[in-house]
């Protein structure tokens, strides 16, 4: 099965033209990690590779460009001026409307890769985690998080969400509702899995 995409070469050019070198390498790293996690946890490898490679395609847009796309695709007003939250929503809209990507699971994996959300699919969760644990990341606990992601995706997802929520709280920044709901959801999921053992 191949993924619907009107022009894969144009999409490649798009990320080469729009991403800084380090961000391009990060995209390759997320693709690689997503493939690894898909094999380990039984997700669609091809979709994981695609979503991983293109998840940050809008990350390096300047504010004007980002805002133009937010308006063009009727995305929520709260995204204006907020690159951290906007780049995932805009990236998904561009894949859908400008590159003919129709696979909802891929689009949602890109759309929610920053915040995560409750009731995530395996692919969504895997891209959320792969983004944080790919090989080019440089934080000191990387080995610990990679190992956790290989062994227990839900637990990795929970620990990343806990870290993000703590970090944003300490910086006095707003936490998206999807992020809080994702944490509650994955915690509940882990408890249910443990009770079922
Ligand atoms: O695009 P990447 O750098 O690869 O990673 P990402 O898409 O996860 O973006 C990380 C940024 O998003 C980081 O600065 C924290 C921010 N972020 C994540 N969740 C939330 C958030 N920012 C706000 N304001 N609210 C959130 O819930
Ligand atoms: Fe991102
Ligand atoms: Fe990323």
Express each pLDDT in 12-41 by its tens digit.
999 999 999 999 999 999 999 999 999 999
The pLDDT of residue 197? 73
- pTM of the full predicted structure? 0.96
**If you measure from the C-alpha of residue 154 to the centroid of ligand 2, how many angstroms do you get, rounded to a whole number?**
20
Averaged pLDDT, 72-81: 97
**If you measure from the C-alpha of residue 176 to the centroid of ligand 3, how many angstroms do you get, rounded to a whole number?**
17
What are the CB-based long-range contacts (under 8 Å, 24+) for 22-29? 22/136, 23/56, 23/59, 23/60, 25/136, 26/56, 26/134, 26/136, 27/52, 27/53, 27/54, 27/55, 27/56, 27/57, 28/53, 29/134, 29/135, 29/136, 29/137
Atom of ligand 1 nearest to the CA of 180: 27
Express each pLDDT in 130-171 by its tens digit.
999 999 999 999 999 999 999 999 999 999 999 999 999 999
Average pLDDT of every residue of the chain? 97
The pLDDT of residue 20? 98
Percent of the chain with pLDDT over 90: 95
* pLDDT band for position 196 (cuts 50, 70, 90): confident
Pocket test for ligand 1, best of 15, 53, 84 (most atoms within 8 A of CB): 84
Express each pLDDT in 100-134 by its tens digit.
999 999 999 999 999 999 999 999 999 999 999 99
The pLDDT of residue 56? 98
- The answer to whether residues 43 and 37 touch, using CB atoms and an 8 Å cutoff, is yes
Express each pLDDT in 56-68 by its tens digit.
999 999 999 999 9
Averaged pLDDT, 62-78: 97
Please check the confidence at residue 1 and state whether its pLDDT lies above 90: no
Please check the confidence at residue 2 and state whether its pLDDT lies above 90: no
């Amino acid at each position: 099965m191949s993924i619907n995409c009107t022009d894969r070469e144009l999409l490649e050019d798009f990320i080469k033209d729009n991403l800084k070198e380090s961000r391009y390498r990060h995209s390759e790293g997320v693709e690689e990690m997503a493939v690894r996690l898909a094999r380990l946890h039984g997700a669609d490898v091809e979709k994981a590779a695609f979503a991983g490679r293109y998840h940050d395609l809008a990350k390096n847009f300047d504010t004007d460009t980002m805002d133009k796309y937010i308006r063009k695709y009727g995305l929520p007003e709260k995204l204006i001026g907020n690159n951290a939250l906007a780049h995932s929503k805009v990236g998904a809209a561009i894949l859908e409307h400008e590159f003919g990507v129709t696979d909802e699971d891929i689009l949602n994996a890109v759309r929610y890769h920053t915040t995560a959300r409750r009731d995530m699919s395996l692919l969504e969760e895997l891209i959320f985690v792969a983004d944080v644990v790919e090989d080019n990341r440089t934080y000191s606990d990387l080995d610990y998080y990679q190992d956790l992601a290989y062994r227990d995706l839900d637990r990795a997802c929970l620990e990343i969400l806990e870290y993000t929520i703590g970090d944003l709280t300490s910086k006095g920044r707003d936490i998206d509702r999807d992020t809080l709901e994702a944490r509650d959801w994955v915690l509940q999921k882990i408890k249910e899995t443990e009770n079922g053992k």
